[in-house]
Amino acid sequence: MDREHFSNDITVIMAMAGSAIGLGNIWRFPYMAGQNGGAAFIVIYIFCAVLLALPIFLSEASIGKYTQSGTFGAIEKLLPGSKLRWLGMITVISPLIILSYYSVVGGWSIKYLYVSLAGGFGEDVASEYGRLVSSPVIPLVCHTLFLLLTSGVVLAGVKSGIERFNKISIPVLFVLIVIIAVYSLTLPGSAAGVEYLLKPDFSNVGPKTFIYAMGQSFFSLSLGVGTVLTYSSYMKKDAGLMKTGFGTAFFDLLFALIAGFAIMPAVFAAGIEPGSGPGLIFETLPYIFVKMGITLPFLSRLISILFFLTIVVAALTSSISMLETGVAYLNEEKGFSRKKAVTVLFALTWTLGALCSLSFGPLSGVKIFGLNIFSFCDALVSNFFMVMGALLFVYLAGWRMDEGQMRKETGAAYFFIRYVSPFVIFAIFLSNLL
Ligand code: TRP
């Protein structure tokens, strides 16, 4: 079968950055940095990104590039006949689980974009979020819409869908987030937000900081679930992996930092406490837009539209990479056409996503290990599956791939891939287990 390929290194980096840049950069990084030592956290984060995340990235990427197969097929090639290869199924399932609940949040963002466009938020915006997520119908409609958009891009194929969408979206995302940051930094009282984000505070730095920084770099670069592997299998043979790895990590961090400058100054200018997670984007910021809207109705509307547009697009560039991972599997291993694969996976992720969505409302009574369905899916993948996937990838890259080729491609990082990463990842796994 003829394999489609990304046109060049730039478009590979755009696609990888598209997968990496997402909700994690916007709602998690700024808060993590602020809470865990400001500039000190950022330095530790860079350290973890280079020493831990990059070797994992390079492992996944070299497996994809050299086997020219999607996630399960690649593992099968490296572990022929071994029972261990079945572990590879985790990396087929993980991105689909993430897609299911990510699409629910993508749906909320669509709803907020719609509200921004249709006339802005009402006075009781903070409680509106609780009402939205617990109501059954609207979140389901928006989840469906988000998943349809994702499917549309993936259906169009690697080059005319994924490559084209990312090539346009990534520059647009940077322009949008810079506009918002510039605006945010000019608000009176914004300096406190900059200080929150950057002031080095070593009293907050400890072993825990490293665990947080590792976890964040892991999630933010979309590692361990076969997405990097799948995208890399669309690389041409002459594509440089180091360049791609550093490029992706650079754009991902840059976006996270600018997002911090877009969000925290506004939060502090409005005199509220920064939170993390969905509350930050769906409660705190809309509240700020309402407050600003009293004096600056036009500008506040505009910024609110741009902001939710940024979130929807950033989430889409990530979600298409998750869906593509599953599509590549069904296409190559099961002989499904792209159309059939997208249709089947749409049905599956729509259903699991719907359960996740309803778990804030009608199904809130259903608990798995004390978590609702949405949080359980997130915890299962983020704490266990992603880590197990990463462990499998560094093992395969460090011990199953051709050594000479790996050394040539990954240079000094090879030592880490082979001897250091497996132990560090195992330690993370244990710490998640406890
Ligand atoms: N990196 C994405 C973000 O920052 C989230 C993510 C985690 C992801 N794992 C993934 C995206 C796998 C695509 C595929 O929001």
425 lines ligand 1 (CB under 6 A): no
% of the chain beyond a pLDDT of 70: 100
Across 116-125, average pLDDT: 83
Q: Is 20 in the pocket of ligand 1 (CB under 6 A)?
A: yes
354 C-beta neighbours (distance < 10 Å), count: 21
State pLDDT tens for residues 207-258.
889 888 988 998 999 999 999 999 999 999 888 899 999 999 999 999 999 9
Distance, C-alpha 101 to centroid of its chain: 12
Region 24-31: what's the mean pLDDT?
Answer: 89
Residue located nearest, by CA, to atom 15 of ligand 1: 22
Distance (angstroms) between ligand 1 centre and the Cα of 189 equals: 33
User: Any residues with CB less than 8 A from the CB of 186 and at least 6 apart, and which?
Assistant: none
- Residue 1 pLDDT class (50, 70, 90 cuts): low
Q: Does ligand 1 lie within 6 Å of residue 285's CB atom?
A: no
190 Cα to the center of ligand 1, angstroms: 29
Rg (CA), the chain: 21
Query: So what's the pLDDT on residue 298?
Result: 87
**Where residue 102 falls among pLDDT bands split at 50, 70, 90?**
very high
Task: Centre a 10 Å sphere on the Cβ of residue 195 and count the other Cβ atoms it contains.
Answer: 14
Is 312 a pocket residue for ligand 1 (Cβ < 6 Å)?
Answer: no
Cβ(152)–Cβ(307) below 8 Å = no
Contact 11 CB / ligand 1 (< 6 Å)? no
Q: Give the distance (Å) from ligand 1 centre to CA of residue 386.
A: 10
Instruction: Judge whether 324 and 154 are in contact, CB under 8 Å.
Output: yes
Nearest protein CA to atom 10 of ligand 1, as residue: 222
Whole-number Cα distances in Å, 417 to 185, 343, 400, 413, 414: 41, 37, 12, 6, 5
Over residues 251-278, the pLDDT tens digits come to 999 999 999 999 999 988 888 888 777 7
| DSSP three-state, residue 368 | strand
Which residues is 368 bridged to in the sheet?
371
**One-letter identity of residue 8:** N
Ligand 1, atom nearest to 386 Cα:
9
**322: Cβ below 6 Å to ligand 1?**
yes
CA of 102 from ligand 1 middle (Å) equals: 9
Structure tokens at 235: 């690389």
16 lines ligand 1 (CB under 6 A): no
pLDDT, tens only, 340-356: 999 999 999 999 999 99
pTM: 0.94
| CA 165–ligand 1 middle distance (angstroms) | 17
Query: If you count DSSP H runs as helices and E runs as strands, how many of each does the chain have, helices first?
Result: 23, 0
Q: Does ligand 1 have an atom closer than 6 angstroms to the CB of 227?
A: yes
Is 217 near ligand 1, meaning CB less than 6 Å away? no
User: What pLDDT digit, counting tens, does each position of 62-82 carry?
Assistant: 999 999 999 999 999 999 988
Q: What average pLDDT does the segment 9-24 reach?
A: 96
At position 275, the amino acid (one-letter code) is: G
What's the whole-number mean pLDDT along residues 366-376?
Answer: 94
The confidence score (pLDDT) of residue 134 equals 92
Q: What value does the mean pLDDT take over residues 305-331?
A: 97
Question: Which atom of ligand 1 is nearest the CA belonging to 225?
Answer: 12
Compute CA distances 90 → 93, 239, 311, whole Å. 5, 27, 28
Which protein residue's CA is at the shortest distance from atom 4 of ligand 1? 24
Partnered with residue 371 across adjacent β-strands are 368
Nearest CA to ligand 1 atom 8: 222
Q: Is the dihedral of CA 180, 288, 313, 380 positive or negative?
A: positive
Question: How far is the CA of 194 from the CAs of 30, 250, 345, in angstroms?
Answer: 10, 21, 42
Indicate if ligand 1 lies below 6 Å from the C-beta of 23.
yes
- The answer to whether the CB of 223 is under 6 A from ligand 1 is no
Mean pLDDT in residue range 306-315: 96
| CA distances from residue 10 to 153, 224, 407 in whole angstroms, order as listed | 19, 23, 23
pLDDT at 431 over 70: yes
Angle at 177 between CA 173 and CA 183, to 5 degrees: 150
98 ligand 1 Cβ < 6 A: yes
* Region class of 38: left (phi > 0), else alpha (psi between -120 and 50), else beta: left
Cα 322 vs. chain centroid, distance in angstroms? Answer: 9
CA of 105 from ligand 1 middle (Å) equals 13
Higher pLDDT, 156 or 432: 156
CA atoms within 13 A on the CB side of 282: 20
